[in-house]
Protein backbone atom coordinates (compact mmCIF):
# COMPACT_ATOMS: atom_id res chain seq x y z
CA UNK A 1 0.00 0.00 0.00
CA UNK A 2 2.44 2.65 1.12
CA UNK A 3 4.75 3.54 -1.72
CA UNK A 4 2.53 1.79 -4.29
CA UNK A 5 0.96 3.86 -7.07
CA UNK A 6 -2.79 4.25 -6.69
CA UNK A 7 -5.07 5.17 -9.58
CA UNK A 8 -7.46 7.99 -8.73
CA UNK A 9 -10.87 6.60 -9.62
CA UNK A 10 -13.30 9.47 -9.06
CA UNK A 11 -15.13 10.55 -12.21
CA UNK A 12 -15.85 14.29 -12.32
CA UNK A 13 -19.49 15.23 -12.80
CA UNK A 14 -21.35 18.53 -12.91
CA UNK A 15 -24.58 20.04 -14.06
CA UNK A 16 -25.91 23.50 -14.78
CA UNK A 17 -29.40 24.79 -15.44
CA UNK A 18 -29.55 27.24 -18.34
CA UNK A 19 -33.09 28.64 -18.40
CA UNK A 20 -35.26 25.70 -19.58
CA UNK A 21 -32.27 23.47 -20.43
CA UNK A 22 -29.94 21.41 -18.28
CA UNK A 23 -26.32 20.66 -19.12
CA UNK A 24 -24.78 17.58 -17.48
CA UNK A 25 -21.19 16.38 -17.96
CA UNK A 26 -19.43 13.31 -16.59
CA UNK A 27 -15.78 12.45 -17.09
CA UNK A 28 -13.57 14.53 -19.34
CA UNK A 29 -15.21 14.74 -22.79
CA UNK A 30 -12.55 17.21 -23.96
CA UNK A 31 -10.01 14.35 -23.86
CA UNK A 32 -12.04 12.42 -26.41
CA UNK A 33 -10.92 12.11 -30.01
CA UNK A 34 -14.30 10.83 -31.19
CA UNK A 35 -17.68 12.26 -30.24
CA UNK A 36 -20.98 10.55 -31.04
CA UNK A 37 -24.43 12.13 -30.74
CA UNK A 38 -27.64 10.39 -29.65
CA UNK A 39 -31.07 12.02 -29.86
CA UNK A 40 -33.32 11.70 -26.82
CA UNK A 41 -36.53 13.42 -27.83
CA UNK A 42 -35.56 17.07 -28.29
CA UNK A 43 -32.46 16.59 -26.11
CA UNK A 44 -29.00 15.27 -26.98
CA UNK A 45 -26.56 12.87 -25.32
CA UNK A 46 -22.91 12.79 -26.42
CA UNK A 47 -20.37 10.00 -25.98
CA UNK A 48 -16.65 10.89 -26.06
CA UNK A 49 -14.03 8.19 -26.55
CA UNK A 50 -10.24 8.15 -26.80
CA UNK A 51 -8.20 6.72 -29.71
CA UNK A 52 -8.64 3.21 -28.32
CA UNK A 53 -12.43 3.51 -28.12
CA UNK A 54 -12.57 3.80 -24.32
CA UNK A 55 -15.28 6.10 -22.98
CA UNK A 56 -13.65 9.16 -21.39
CA UNK A 57 -16.73 11.36 -21.03
CA UNK A 58 -20.42 11.84 -21.65
CA UNK A 59 -22.48 14.99 -21.79
CA UNK A 60 -26.11 15.87 -22.28
CA UNK A 61 -28.08 19.00 -23.06
CA UNK A 62 -31.83 19.25 -22.86
CA UNK A 63 -34.83 18.97 -20.61
CA UNK A 64 -33.92 17.33 -17.31
CA UNK A 65 -36.90 14.96 -17.63
CA UNK A 66 -35.36 13.62 -20.87
CA UNK A 67 -31.68 13.45 -19.92
CA UNK A 68 -31.55 12.51 -16.22
CA UNK A 69 -31.93 8.72 -16.57
CA UNK A 70 -29.91 8.32 -19.80
CA UNK A 71 -27.13 10.38 -18.25
CA UNK A 72 -27.09 8.14 -15.18
CA UNK A 73 -26.68 5.08 -17.42
CA UNK A 74 -24.02 6.78 -19.59
CA UNK A 75 -22.08 7.94 -16.52
CA UNK A 76 -21.52 4.24 -15.73
CA UNK A 77 -19.84 3.89 -19.16
CA UNK A 78 -17.26 6.45 -18.04
CA UNK A 79 -16.82 4.93 -14.59
CA UNK A 80 -16.28 1.48 -16.14
CA UNK A 81 -14.08 2.85 -18.95
CA UNK A 82 -16.28 0.87 -21.33
CA UNK A 83 -15.84 0.56 -25.07
CA UNK A 84 -19.21 1.36 -26.61
CA UNK A 85 -20.07 0.69 -30.27
CA UNK A 86 -20.54 4.21 -31.70
CA UNK A 87 -23.19 3.13 -34.22
CA UNK A 88 -25.26 1.41 -31.52
CA UNK A 89 -24.88 4.42 -29.20
CA UNK A 90 -26.14 6.76 -31.94
CA UNK A 91 -29.14 4.50 -32.66
CA UNK A 92 -31.91 5.77 -30.37
CA UNK A 93 -33.84 2.52 -30.88
CA UNK A 94 -31.12 0.63 -28.94
CA UNK A 95 -31.69 1.02 -25.17
CA UNK A 96 -28.64 2.47 -23.42
CA UNK A 97 -28.87 -0.27 -20.81
CA UNK A 98 -28.31 -2.81 -23.60
CA UNK A 99 -24.91 -1.22 -24.28
CA UNK A 100 -23.73 -1.65 -20.70
CA UNK A 101 -21.32 -4.53 -20.43
CA UNK A 102 -20.94 -5.05 -24.17
CA UNK A 103 -17.37 -5.84 -25.23
Transcribe 65-90 into DSSP letters.
HHHHHHHHHHHHHHHTT-B--HHHHH
Q: Tell me the pTM.
A: 0.88
Q: Is the pLDDT assigned to residue 12 strictly greater than 80?
A: yes
**Residue 100: what are its φ and ψ, rounded to 5°?**
-65, 130
Task: Give the Cβ contact number of residue 68 at 10 Å.
Answer: 14
**Average pLDDT of span 17-38:** 96
Confidence of residue 9 (pLDDT cuts 50, 70, 90): confident
Give the three-state DSSP class for 64.
Answer: helix
To which H or E segment does residue 23 belong?
A: strand 21-27
The CATH architecture to which 21-92 belongs is: 2-Layer Sandwich (3.30)
List the domain boundaries for the chain. Answer: 21-92
**Average pLDDT of span 29-51:** 97
Contact 71, 58 (CB under 8 A): yes
Residue 3: predicted pLDDT: 79
Amino acid sequence: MVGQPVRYGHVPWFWSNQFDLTLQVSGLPALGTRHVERAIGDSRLYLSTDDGGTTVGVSALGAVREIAMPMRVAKAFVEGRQQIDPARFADASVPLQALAGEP
